[in-house]
Homo-oligomer: A and B are copies of this chain.
């Protein structure tokens, strides 16, 4: 099997002066072939540029963000690379991995699983923060250390825990409608039970943004949360941004929580505010 750093180009489309590409590579961490999307702005043809990772939500592949968020326009204007990974290992056919839309395929939850049969492959946390990061840095003109991370829903949770568990690795973090306190909501409880085992023994708090904030002691990090008020899953209490907000305030971690009136959980909402997020990250990256 070839190295994770050996990339195969799947597609390449010119867009806003740069290129939206999809690559595949072998992941040793996940034990399967993975696709990821990358937008290279025109500035990357001659110079190294900063980079922002986007983590997608439940059921998504690398394709959703690329096709629906309209983010490339802003990345082109700002001169920043955007990377959109997949949301779980693929093609493994582990028994039960496709029985539900909120667990298994398309629902890796950005943790490193500890429970069989998931623990051999479902290590999206290590994939995103180490293996993919290295593959991208080796292959593309990335300014060293100038990386940020953002995501949506399950991927918002992913962005938050990737940043909070790796102090200093990402210059900034933001999240649209993140699952902010997974140990307190049905989605998170189901996923963590499966991937990490029972709450009593599974160290759930190590993978929960609201819990991680309480013990964060790395470089200054602002938590930027975006939430639509007509979001079905917010109203069903799957997201719980108020819990994260309270933990940030208790722990003196700076936090921005922007409520967006009448916006829902869809990519129509994301498309509306992705430009503001990219501009925010670029400001932090250039600081």
Whether A15 lies near B73 (C-beta < 8 A) is: no
Whether B264 lies near A14 (C-beta < 8 A) is: yes
Contacts of A14 on B, CB cut-off 8 Å? 228, 230, 262-264, 268-269, 272
Whether B67 lies near A15 (C-beta < 8 A) is: no
Contacts of A13 on B, CB cut-off 8 Å? 264, 266, 268-269
Please, how many angstroms separate the alpha-carbon atoms of A264 and B271 in the complex? 23
List which A110-138 residues lie within 8 A (CB) of chain B.
none
Interface residues contributed by chain A, number (CB under 8 Å): 22
5 nearest A-B residue pairs (beta carbon):
A70-B70, A13-B268, A15-B268, A14-B262, A14-B263
Q: How many monomers of this protein are in the complex?
A: 2
Whether A269 lies near B73 (C-beta < 8 A) is: no
What 0/1 readout, one digit per residue, does chain A (73-101) give for beta carbons within 8 Å of chain B? 10000000000000000000000000000
Distance (whole angstroms) from the CB of A230 to the closest CB of chain B = 7
Distance (whole angstroms) from the CB of A147 to the closest CB of chain B = 24
A-B contact list, 14 entries, CB within 8 Å = A13-B266, A14-B269, A14-B272, A15-B268, A15-B269, A15-B271, A15-B272, A16-B271, A16-B272, A67-B267, A70-B70, A70-B73, A70-B271, A72-B271
Please, how many angstroms separate the alpha-carbon atoms of A72 and B262 in the complex? 17
